[in-house]
Amino acid sequence: MAKIKLAKSKVDTLVEICKSFDNDGAELINVLHKAQETFGYLPAEVQEIIARELNVSVAHVYGVVTFYSFFSMVPKGEFPISICMGTACYVRGAEKVLEEFKRLLDVPVGETTEDGKFSISCLRCVGACGLAPVVTIGERVYGRVAAGDVADIIKEYQS
Amino acid sequence: MRLAFSKEDLKMEKMIKLTIDNKQIEVPQGTTIFEAAKQLGIEIPTLCYMHLGDMGIEHKPGGCRICVVEVEGRRNLAPSCNSKCEEGMVIHTHNMRVLNARKTVMELMLSDHPFDCLVCAKSGNCDLQTMAHQFGVRELHYKGEQSTYKVDYSPSIIRDMDKCIMCRRCETMCNDVQTVGALSAVNRGFESVVAPAFEMDLEKSTCTYCGQCVAVCPTGALTEKDHTNQLIRDLADPKKTVVVQTAPAVRAALGEEFGMEAGTLVTGKMVSALRQLGFDKVFDTDFAADLTIMEEGTELLERLQKHLDGDKDVKLPILTSCCPGWVNFFEHHFPDMKDIPSTARSPQQMFGPIAKNYLAKQMGIKREDMIVVSIMPCLAKKYECQRDEFKVDGDPDVNYSISTRELANLIKQANMDLSIMADEDFDNPLGESTGAGVIFGATGGVIEAAARTAYEVYTGKTLEKVDFEALRGMEGIRSATVDFDGLPINIGIAHGLGNARKLLEDIRDGKSEYHAIEIMACPGGCIGGGGQPLHHGDSSILKKRAAALYREDEGKAIRKSHENPYIIKLYEEFLGKPCSELSHKLLHTHYFDKSNEIEIE
């Protein structure tokens, strides 16, 4: 099997995170949340360490990471764009908005632009259905977004 | 996976009355509709449900939706495998609505399934194919996206996930039964698939090649690597001398592929079939099993003697090392304990070097002109014979291994019917074996065989009764104390890697009281191996196969390995004595740390 390279400080941080959840395999999702919060994403190495610390199989950890769209195995961009695909947003045209983001940034869902600036992901309902379709970029929320607005939104971050 | 209720639990439960297909039945509370129907003799079709009786494993994800039934008063059809019976329920298992739904579900499944049935390895033995036929599917009304995955070829197992129907039986075997953790469902929705971590190839994962996933796969998604074409080519090559060895468990199961009752011994018929297929010599792995006992038993007694003499460094318990799935397991999961198992090679890998170094010379042929083939109930054996440490200048001691199922197919291909073949005897010298070698194929058999020889060698006395009944049975973990003339020897036995894990964790924690432990990776031992005819979770079949091996043992004139005259001769003429220098070179091995190395920068 391939050797895994990871800085010692990162390993220590992960070990601490797992310990704070009593190294309990049932806490896997919480551990993954905390790890992603710390590292920004969940590369294979991080999943290997978590599996070892929680005494669960790596295949299981990978299964959970790939099941939940919130978890990501690639680093998010400086400005992470999330398009809500919940029912309300979807019926009000979220898909067209998503297509426009993909077209203008030339990057598929779940990936990051080459300059590391933007990443696109989809999420399910942010609880602001009255503003549908909703797009979030970092902590900022955009409501009633139409495909025609997308270019202007991107411009805000390209200075 | 959930544990099934034991009968005792159910006795305490309230009884429930219901009607299934106009028949009244009373079942204990908690019984599923599927089980209740079964008691009435109604077999509801299913593709994902799996119940391995004695092992207490019930897999009922309710995923395939084939087992739906109508419950009067309910809006939706209910999946019978995970819907519990309720008082007064009226259930229909095959009315119009149910049959239509099943057929639709099947058509949807087939809309994302390749149409290569004619050339699929599972054809004729595929649950999906059988059921599509049973439901009378004659056209597909749905067209949609088709999943396309790269086929994953490992030395033992082939994964073709385009054929996966996500029943997830393999996941239960790999994780809950074997605790190997190589497979998991990954991704979501249409993209979901059962795969190793990071969708890497099986070969790079923690897979042990035990093949229990293959044994339960209802489709052609998981199959064994087939070596029959290679074999046919070698048999046709006049320059090659092709010799075959057959593992003990094969003779107790091969007949099932030809419609014979489970537990029918076909030893003699198998020998004549192999001879008619064109093998130059037909030998018995049981001979090598006797040889294993000589080496492993001697090693056990050496370690035991050192322990009794107060040597604190000696490693006890000694663990058996015949099972390649088990060897892979501890190399991946318990590499810190790789000094504990016996260094004795498995019988397959003892046979190889004896054939190519001793027999080849006797027959006056060159090593490179001899092809050694093994017939095994096992898929891990395919990987084992390819390990680098079992090769001499790139030439494997055992060229390749074919499974019981592959042999059955080959016999059918050659237009032979095993059931009407005459009985023939193995060739000598590597075909003579004792009863001790035969029982290697069942859980508890290796350690019983070792006990027969170790007792006589250690005490210098003759065993009055060679049957150690306390070591037999189907319990996942068993233990017994054998009296070596005043010296109590504690023996542990585990079959199924999940059970093995428990014993290993005890050893790691210093809690183990055993002197010797036998481990077999597959539930039931080799008789339940990943290369055997499919038993579809029916553990009564495993019991019949085990009984057959004990029957063959009982009928043998010699039942102790050290009394095998050809083994005695082999030591006199060639090896010297057990654990001699030559024995160590040819018949022993060493193990590797295959755990994932985490390099910290």
pLDDT tens-digit profile of B230-252? 999 999 999 999 999 999 999 99
B546-568 average pLDDT score: 96
Q: What percent of chain B has pLDDT over 90?
A: 91
Looking up tokens 């654990």 gives B579
Please name the residues between 117 and 176 in chain B that touch chain A, using a CB distance below 8 Å.
Answer: 175
Minimal Cβ distance to B197: which of A52, A58, A67: A58
A74 part of contact set with chain B, CB < 8 Å = no
- For strands B152-153 and B184-186, give the pairing: unpaired
Write the single-letter amino acid at B330.
F
Q: What is the pLDDT of residue A125?
A: 83
For residue A3, name the pLDDT band (cuts at 50, 70, 90). low
Composition of chain A by helix, strand, coil, percent to 5: 50, 15, 35
Kindly state whether residue A1 falls inside one of the protein's structural domains. no
Kindly state whether residue A56 falls inside one of the protein's structural domains. yes
Q: Is residue B99 scored above 70 in pLDDT?
A: yes
- Give me the residues paired with residue B396 across strands: B391
Kindly state whether residue A101 falls inside one of the protein's structural domains. yes
> Do A84 and A142 share a domain, yes or no?
yes
pLDDT digits (tens, 9 = 90+) for B298-354: 999 999 999 999 998 898 899 999 999 999 999 999 999 999 999 999 999 999 999
B214-227 average pLDDT score: 96
The CATH number of whichever domain residue A141 belongs to comes to 3.40.30.10
Q: What is the pLDDT of residue B293?
A: 97
A1 part of contact set with chain B, CB < 8 Å = yes
Q: Which residues are CB-contacts of B89 (< 8 A; sequence separation ≥ 6)?
A: B18, B19, B33, B71, B72
Q: What is the pLDDT of residue B538?
A: 82
pLDDT digits (tens, 9 = 90+) for B573-594: 999 999 999 999 999 999 999 9
pLDDT digits (tens, 9 = 90+) for B352-410: 999 999 999 999 999 999 999 999 999 999 999 999 999 999 999 999 999 999 999 99
**Do B85 and B31 contact (CB within 8 A), yes or no?**
yes
Q: What is the pLDDT of residue B599?
A: 55
Q: What percent of chain B has pLDDT over 70?
A: 97
Q: Is residue B1 scored above 50 in pLDDT?
A: no
> Do A85 and A28 share a domain, yes or no?
no
Chain B nearest-CA distance from A1, in A, is 6
CA B561 – CA B567 distance, rounded (Å): 8
Which of the two residues, A41 and B283, has the higher pLDDT score? B283
Q: Which of residues A42, A67, A92 is at a domain's end?
A: A67
Total of domains in chain A: 2
Q: Is residue B198 scored above 60 in pLDDT?
A: yes
B22 part of contact set with chain A, CB < 8 Å = no
> Do A118 and A139 share a domain, yes or no?
yes
> Do A59 and A91 share a domain, yes or no?
no
Q: What is the pLDDT of residue A7?
A: 82
**Do B377 and B531 contact (CB within 8 A), yes or no?**
yes
Q: What is the pLDDT of residue A1?
A: 40
Q: Is residue A2 scored above 50 in pLDDT?
A: no
Q: What is the pLDDT of residue A110?
A: 85
pLDDT digits (tens, 9 = 90+) for B38-55: 999 999 999 999 988 777
> Do A124 and A149 share a domain, yes or no?
yes
pLDDT digits (tens, 9 = 90+) for B443-467: 999 999 999 999 999 999 999 899 9
Q: What is the pLDDT of residue B537?
A: 74
pLDDT digits (tens, 9 = 90+) for B151-165: 999 999 999 999 999
Partners of B596 on chain A (C-beta within 8 Å) are 1-2, 4, 48, 52, 58
B314 part of contact set with chain A, CB < 8 Å = no
Q: How far is CA B502 from the centre of its chain?
A: 19
- List the structure tokens of B453: 């020889």
> Do A29 and A97 share a domain, yes or no?
no
Kindly state whether residue A54 falls inside one of the protein's structural domains. yes
pLDDT digits (tens, 9 = 90+) for B477-527: 999 999 998 999 999 999 999 999 999 999 999 999 999 999 999 999 999
Q: Name which of A83-87, B279-283, B535-539 the model is least confident about.
A: B535-539
B594, containing H or E segment = none
Kindly state whether residue A72 falls inside one of the protein's structural domains. no
Partners of A54 on chain B (C-beta within 8 Å) are none
Partners of A48 on chain B (C-beta within 8 Å) are 596, 598
The answer to whether A84 is annotated as binding is: yes
Q: What is the pLDDT of residue A4?
A: 60
Q: What are phi and psi of B537, to 5 degrees?
A: 80, 5
Q: Which residues of B are catalytic?
A: 296, 299, 322, 342, 381, 384, 389, 526
DSSP B177: I
Q: What is the pLDDT of residue B6?
A: 57
Domain that holds residue A36: 8-67
> Do A21 and A63 share a domain, yes or no?
yes
> Do A95 and A148 share a domain, yes or no?
yes
Q: Is residue B168 scored above 70 in pLDDT?
A: yes
> Do A46 and A89 share a domain, yes or no?
no
> Do A90 and A148 share a domain, yes or no?
yes
Kindly state whether residue A74 falls inside one of the protein's structural domains. no
Q: Do B597 and A49 touch (CB under 8 A)?
A: no
> Do A58 and A83 share a domain, yes or no?
no
The answer to whether A125 is annotated as binding is: yes
Domains of chain B: 2-107 (3.10.20.740), 111-141+151-225 (3.30.70.20), 229-587 (3.40.50.1780)
The pTM score is 0.90
Q: Which of residues A67, A90, A105 is at a domain's end?
A: A67
For residue B118, name the pLDDT band (cuts at 50, 70, 90). very high
For residue B56, name the pLDDT band (cuts at 50, 70, 90). confident
**Do B303 and B577 contact (CB within 8 A), yes or no?**
no
Q: Is residue B189 scored above 70 in pLDDT?
A: yes
Q: Do B600 and A61 touch (CB under 8 A)?
A: no
Q: What is the pLDDT of residue B508?
A: 92
Kindly state whether residue A100 falls inside one of the protein's structural domains. yes
A39-61 average pLDDT score: 93
Q: Pick left, alpha or beta for residue B100 (phi over 0 → left; psi -120 to 50 → alpha; otherwise beta).
A: alpha
Kindly state whether residue A3 falls inside one of the protein's structural domains. no
> Do A49 and A114 share a domain, yes or no?
no
